[in-house]
């Protein structure tokens, strides 16, 4: 069974930093591009970032470009999101998601994690 489990979400002050993790199992992690997508009650789902299967390419939404860094460790089947210079606008439930086909990018996601909650508040 494919599983994605996020962790690392906490309450952090504006301007602070945070690192999210996504532990995966049940599939060949190093064959798939992975995504971070966030969810807020007001805006719904918002794509944040993706990293290609081999880590050679990383892409970001304009809203997080220059502040967030996506990475992966294929030896640990894990995905990460380093979040810096956080603002209240970054408050959301952050999901990691696996693409639905091997060795593609900017594709639909067929499996998602339940998410980890990031709250940016003074």
> In the chain, which residue ranges form alpha helices assigned H by DSSP?
none
Say how far residue 20 (Cα) sits from the centre of its chain. Answer: 7
CA distance 96 to 81: 10
* Single residue of 19, 76, 103, 114 touching another protein by CB under 8 A: 114
- State the chain's maximal CA–CA distance in angstroms: 42
Task: Give the interface segment with another protein, choosing from 9-17, 22-30, 75-83, 100-108 (CB under 8 A).
Answer: 100-108
Residue 29, phi then psi, degrees to nearest 5: -50, -40
Residue 17 Cβ vs another protein, minimum distance, rounded to whole Å: 25
Residue 46 found at the interface with another protein (CB under 8 A): yes
Are the beta carbons of 63 and 83 closer than 8 angstroms? no
Residue 30 found at the interface with another protein (CB under 8 A): no
Residue 108 Cβ vs another protein, minimum distance, rounded to whole Å: 4
Q: Provide the 3-class DSSP secondary structure of residue 89.
A: helix
Residue 45 found at the interface with another protein (CB under 8 A): yes
* Single residue of 12, 39, 52, 63 touching another protein by CB under 8 A: 39
**Residues contributing to the site for another protein (CB under 8 A):** 4, 35, 37, 39, 43-47, 50, 95, 97, 100, 106-115
């Amino acid at each position: 069974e494919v599983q994605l489990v996020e962790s690392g979400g906490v309450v952090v002050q504006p301007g602070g930093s945070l690192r999210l993790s996504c532990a995966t199992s049940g599939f060949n992690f190093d064959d798939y591009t992975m995504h971070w997508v966030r969810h807020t009650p007001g805006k719904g789902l918002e794509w944040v970032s993706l990293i290609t299967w081999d880590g050679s390419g990383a892409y970001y939404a304009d809203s997080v470009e220059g502040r967030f860094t996506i990475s992966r460790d294929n030896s640990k089947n894990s995905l990460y999101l380093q979040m810096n210079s956080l603002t209240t606008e970054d408050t959301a439930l952050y999901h990691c998601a696996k693409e639905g086909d091997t060795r593609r990018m900017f594709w639909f996601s067929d499996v998602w994690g339940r998410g980890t909650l990031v709250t940016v508040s003074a």
